[in-house]
Each structure stands twice: as C-alpha cells, then as structure tokens.
Chains A and B, each alone.
Chain A
Amino acid sequence: MQQFYDFKINKIKNLSSEEKILRKKNLELFYLNGFPSKKDEDWKFTDLNFILGQNFTNIVNTELIPDEKPFNPINEFEHNFIYLVNGKLISKNFDHEEKDKILISNFDYKNEIILYRENTLNFLNNALAKDGFSLEISKNYKFKKPLVIYNYFSNSLKETIVNNKNLIILNENSELTLINFVDNNSKENFIINTIDDIKLKKNSSLKSIFINNSKNNAYFYKYLKNDLEKNSNLENYILSSGLKLNKFDIEVNHNAEYSSSNIFSALNLSNYEHQEIKTLINHNTPNCQSYQKIKNVLNNESKGVFQGKIFVKNIAQKTDAYQLSRALILDDKAEFNAKPELEIYADDVKCSHGSTSGSIDLESIHYLKSRGIPEKEAYQMLINGFLCEVLEKLNENNLKKFLLKKLESQIHGY
C-alpha cells in the first residue's frame, strides 16, 4: 500500500532543540511500523492502518490555528466549563467553584515530558502533540457542580491529524464530575489522537463521562492512563456512539489499597461505525475493586470490539474484579468481537467475566406489541432499556436525565 501520511515536526512552532530531538526520535519510532494493523495483537479487530488507508489519501499534521466560535452550552444542569477547539484551551469558567482551588492551564510540553510507549500511536502523539490542558484540584476540594469540557473541532481539519495531551490531577480528598462533550458537525474526515493522564490521589473521586453529540466522520483514538492511589475511586461512562471510528484504550493502575474503578459503556452503532473499547486493569496491590460493564447494540454494517484484560499481581490478594460484555446484534452484517483476558498471580481473589451476544428477544417484542406499542417503537424501547441500564449507578438526577436523553437520541438517530 502506498504511504498515505506525511508528518513533519517542523510544522510545530517554538520548540527547543531538546524537544525537537525528542520529537524526531518518536516520529522515527512511529515510522518504523506506521499505524497499527491487525498483525498487532492489540489491534487485531481494528486494523487501523487498513481503515485509514481506505478513507484517507494524505494525512498531515495540522498547522491550523483554532478559531474561536461560540458554542451551544448545555442547559439541562448547572456546570463549570472549559472550551477546547481542536484540543486547544480557548476559554474557561469556574463560576460555581472556589477559584483558588483549581489550577487550569495549557498543557506544558516544556516541563511535563511524559512519554508513552504502549503503541505507535503513542509515539506519534509524543512526536506531534500540541495544545491540551492541565487541570489540578486542590486537596480537600470537592467540586460543587460538574465540569463540562466542550470539545469542538474546526471545519477545515480534512485529512489531518490532531494530537493532544491532557493532564488531570485530583489531590487528596478531592472530588470531580467531568463531562467530555464532543460536538462536531463537520463532515470532513480527520483523526484525533489524545493521551489523557489522570492521577487520583488518596481518597479522591472522579466521575468521568464521555458523550458524543453528533454523527460525524471523525476517527478518535484516546489513550487514558489512570493511576489510582489509596482509597480513590474512578467511574467512567462511555457514550460515544456516532463517531466513524473510535478506540478507547483504557489503562487503570490500582497502585494502592482500597481503590476502586468502574467502566461503563453503552454504544449504539450503525452505518459502518466501528468502535472499540480496550481495557487493561492492573491490580498491583491488595484489596482493590474493579468493575466493567460494556454494552453494545449493533445495527447495519457496524462493528463493535471489546478487549478487556484484568491483571492481578501476586501480592494483590483480596482483589475483586468483574467484567461483563453484552451485545445485541440486530443485523446479519453487523459484527461484535469480545476478547476477555484474566491474568492472575494471586490466589485469594474474586475475578469473573462474562460475555454474551445475541439478537433481540422476540418474546419481549411480542409482549410490547400486545400492549399496542408499534414494532419499531418496541425495538427502540428494548434497545433503550438494554443500554440505559448502564447508567443505573449514577445518582446525580439532572445529569442522569441529560445522559438518558442523549443516549435516546443516539438510539433514535440525531
């Protein structure tokens, strides 16, 4: 296959000579293997090199200066916000909070040299990343209202890749509900490659929600690295339906006792959408809990993938780890692949996983129809019920209502 990309470090302004050297090295590492393909075990169900080759002719890294456009704020619940265009921090508002408890700035590439080497996309990110943000919450500070990150993208990103890094630190006893809200009406094909580095200090708690709000032609890859200290708690909700291609690569490191992590995902995929959730839950210390519930509904010619690995180190006794993947396949041409993996070196642990995929229950459809509900509505109701169940644990009422509404519009089409 002819090479369909051309990336240049010198498009990035204001780099020190050390930075340039480091970035060049990473770019060389990327070029060694290019985009990951199905030969790579972690990408066996998402042959990115092939997919991008089919849909792009010449991908370049963008020089574009993000344009400030007004955005449509969410009205359903009160919130703080930061506004990103192509990943660049444009504006922020923390009116509901004590402002001296929150540090927010552009990601500092000069001092935060964080290098990821999990895969070639990480190398590419290390080489090309610019923009992104750093957010740090002070010790003992609990956010009064959620923080929404409005992610917008320029219309002129056709055939480009945007690389960002973000850093989120919750200090001891702090709490935050974060909503990553992606709204993008551009029909152009472009790639977003992001690394989020999340650090949860002792007793801190983060709810992190990802919602995609429009049907679009974007290719997303997000590497989420979560480091959990003692008694910290992470809850992830993924509602990313509507993206042409999306892969969440989630690493959770239980580095100290009594930390817990939860990953919930509800996806309704249609029309050639391809989404993958890959998780790696590392239980490195005793007495930690992890829970994953992944639900997919697959319509038309869509493809869903879940690769979930639970790793339990020999000292991580009393680990409680659970993983469940359920898929509803509504079309003969749709496809779902699940690869659960447990790697356990401790002997006193509770680890289980389950994976089911099947079609919709026709007895239930008959039941709903026998109550006067038309067939199409009956299907939507069951799909709704199947996916909405993932949000059961959320207890913020207005936020939950908002998410249920978004999920419903993802099911019914935008």
Chain B
Amino acid sequence: MLNIKNLETIIDNKHILKGLNLNIKPGEVHAIMGPNGSGKSTLANVLSGKNGYITKGDIQFNGERLNDISTEERAQKGIFLAFQYPLEIPGVNTNIFLKTSLNAVRKAKGEKELDTLTFLKLIKEKASELGIDEKFLSRQFNVGFSGGEKKKNEILQMKLLEPTLSILDETDSGLDIDALKIVADGVNSYKNKDNAFLIITHYQRLLDYIKPDFIHVLSNGKIVKTGDANLGLQLEKTGYTSLS
C-alpha cells in the first residue's frame, strides 16, 4: 500500500529525514517510535503533503507516486493524518466542516454526496461510538475543546472518512486512560484487512491497546531497528540510547 524509498527531507535548511525506507501492506499496523527530534512528525507531515518540505526519494501509495500530489488529493485518495495538535477553526461549525470534508472525499471517489439529514444521522452514530457528546457537533470546530476531546474528534474524522491509510501522530499524548481506551477501541473497530495504520508515538502505552505488527525505531532521520510488538516493551525498559 505504502512504499517509501530512500526518503530525505529538508526544511529550513535542516536535514531531517536521511534516507528512510518503509513498506506497509493492507491489514498491517506499524508503529514508529523514537526520541524527540528524530523526525517522526516530519514523516507524518511529509506524508500528508504539507508545504515547506524539500523532499528527495520516492513515496508510492497504491502504486502511484505521491510526492507531487496535493494534500487534499492525498486525503481524497485515502490517506488520513490524525494531527498531534488538532487545530481550532473559529466560526466554523463542526457539523458543516465534517460534512464538507466527507462530501469532498466522496465526490472525488465518484460517490454520491450526502444530504444534510443522512449526514447528521451518520455523524451522530459515529460520535456516539466514541462517546462524543452531540452538542460538540454543533459548536465551532475544536474551539474550547479539551485536549482529549480534540483527539477524539480526530478519530471521529478518521471513522467518517474511512481512509485506507491512517497515520496517527502522537494521538495518545494528552489523553487520560479512559480517553486512551476509547481512542484505541475506535482504531481497533475500524481496523480490517484492507486498511493500514501508521502509529507515531513516544510510549508503549497506546501499543498496549492497539497491537502493532511492526515497530520501527526512528533515530536521526533513519529507521535504525525494526521488530515485532515486543520491541516496544524492550524499549520501555532500556530507552532509545541503547540503540544509537
């Protein structure tokens, strides 16, 4: 599904990723761990198509070169990034934002756009699965939401847009244990043989709930070690310094 070959990125004259290789197949859950400043969030940003990065190397998504495709097209093709710091959009009603987003993706896929009633029914259903209070949906997007509510809102969008590749950038940070479980349940219930996850995290904590097939350790812009779910537990004990 996702094939990254020798990816290098430079932003503001800083060389962040220095030849990263990664292959993700449908049905797999990959976790990327690593110390601060190793390039984890840069990878997430580059995959989402954020401006400002100079990239070298090749990113293929379902056989298509992704490098020069705009952010919105990537989203329409099924790449979803759950932001580490979800933004507040003042003045924009959550329902209207989510409906616009869903219909933009549906339209690009050649599916029929949803009318308001059908949309509201769908979003209420998805929100209740995540324990999100309906009243949040009629408020301004993320404005005044707590950190946990914002993160849940990211997972709500994931479940709504039904991406094939979901990238979770430190979705666990700022979550209490109950919210963490809800988020993990949200991911686990969405997971199937056709979609895949790339989970970026500092800690083993989230991986206790979402079991990864592979764990990669990113250090100084490169993947320095790859292992199975046990690697996370091991890192928890020894820290990253033992690998560098």
* A372-B91 in contact given A362-B51, A366-B51, A367-B83 (Cβ < 8 Å): no
Chain A residues within an 8 Å CB radius of B140: 385, 389
Contact at A387–B101, with CB atoms within 8 Å? Answer: no
Question: Using Cβ atoms and an 8 Å threshold, which residues of chain A touch B90?
Answer: 385-386, 389
Report yes or no: B87 in contact with A371, Cβ–Cβ below 8 A: no
A364 to B104 Cα, complex, angstroms = 17
B100 touches A367 (CB 8 A): no
Q: From residue 341 to 379 of chain A, which have CB atoms closer than 8 A to chain B? A: 362-364, 366-375, 377-378
Distance of A271 Cα from B87 Cα, bound (Å): 31
Query: A384 near B92 (CB under 8 angstroms)?
Result: yes
Nearest opposing residue in chain A for B98, CB measure: A371
Residues of B within 8 A of A375 (CB): 70, 72
CA distance A384 to B140 in the complex (A): 12
Quick check: A363 and B87 within 8 Å, CB to CB? yes
B54 interface contact, C-beta 8 A:
no
Chain A residue contacts of B51, Cβ below 8 A: 362, 366
A385 and B89 contacting across the interface, CB-CB below 8 Å: yes
**Range for the number of chain A residues in contact with chain B:** 20 to 34
Which chain A residue shows the least CB distance to B101? A371
Chain A residue nearest to B100 (CB atoms) is A373
B75 pairs with A370, CB closer than 8 A: yes
Beta-carbon contacts under 8 Å, B42-96 to A: 48-51, 70-72, 74-76, 80-81, 83, 86-87, 89-92
Number of A-B contacts (CB under 8 A): 76
A366→B86 CA distance, assembly (Å): 11
CB closest chain-A residue, reference B78: A372
Whole-angstrom distance between the alpha carbons of A28 and B161 in the complex?
69
User: Counting CB contacts under 8 A, is A182 at the interface?
Assistant: no
Q: Does A382 contact B (CB under 8 A)?
A: yes
Against B, the Cβ 8 Å flags (1 = close, 0 = not) of A72-103 are 00000000000000000000000000000000
Inter-subunit contact A377/B91 (CB<8 Å): no
Query: Is residue A381 within 8 Å, beta carbon to beta carbon, of the partner chain?
Result: yes
- A382/B104 in contact, CB under 8 A: no
Please indicate which of the listed interface residues B72, B75, B87, B104 has the most CB atoms of chain A within 10 Å of its own CB. B72
A372/B108 in contact, CB under 8 A: yes
What chain A residues lie within 8 Å of B81 (beta carbons)? 370
How close is A30's CB to chain B, nearest CB, in angstroms?
Answer: 43
One of B49, B75, B89, B157 near A364 (C-beta < 8 A): B89
Q: Are A381 and B100 in contact (CB under 8 A)?
A: yes
Q: Using A364-B89, A389-B90 as known contacts, say yes or no to A372 and B50 having CB atoms under 8 A apart.
A: no
Complex Cα gap A378–B105 (Å) = 14
Asked whether B190 is an interface residue with its Cβ less than 8 Å from the other chain, the reply is no
Known A366-B51, A384-B92; contact A373-B87, beta-carbon cutoff 8 A = no
B residues in contact with A374, CB < 8 Å: 72, 104
A176 within 8 A of B: no
CA gap between A386 and B157 in the complex, in Å: 22
Q: List 22 A-B contacts (CB under 8 A).
A: A366-B50, A367-B89, A369-B49, A369-B70, A369-B71, A370-B81, A371-B75, A371-B104, A371-B161, A372-B75, A372-B101, A372-B104, A372-B105, A372-B161, A373-B100, A374-B104, A375-B72, A381-B97, A382-B92, A385-B89, A386-B90, A386-B91
Closest CB pairs A-B (n = 7):
A385-B91, A372-B75, A385-B92, A371-B101, A389-B91, A369-B71, A372-B105
Residues of B within 8 A of A (CB): 48-51, 70-72, 74-76, 80-81, 83, 86-87, 89-92, 97, 100-102, 104-105, 108, 140, 157, 161
Contact surface of A with B, Cβ cutoff 8 Å = 362-364, 366-375, 377-378, 381-382, 384-389
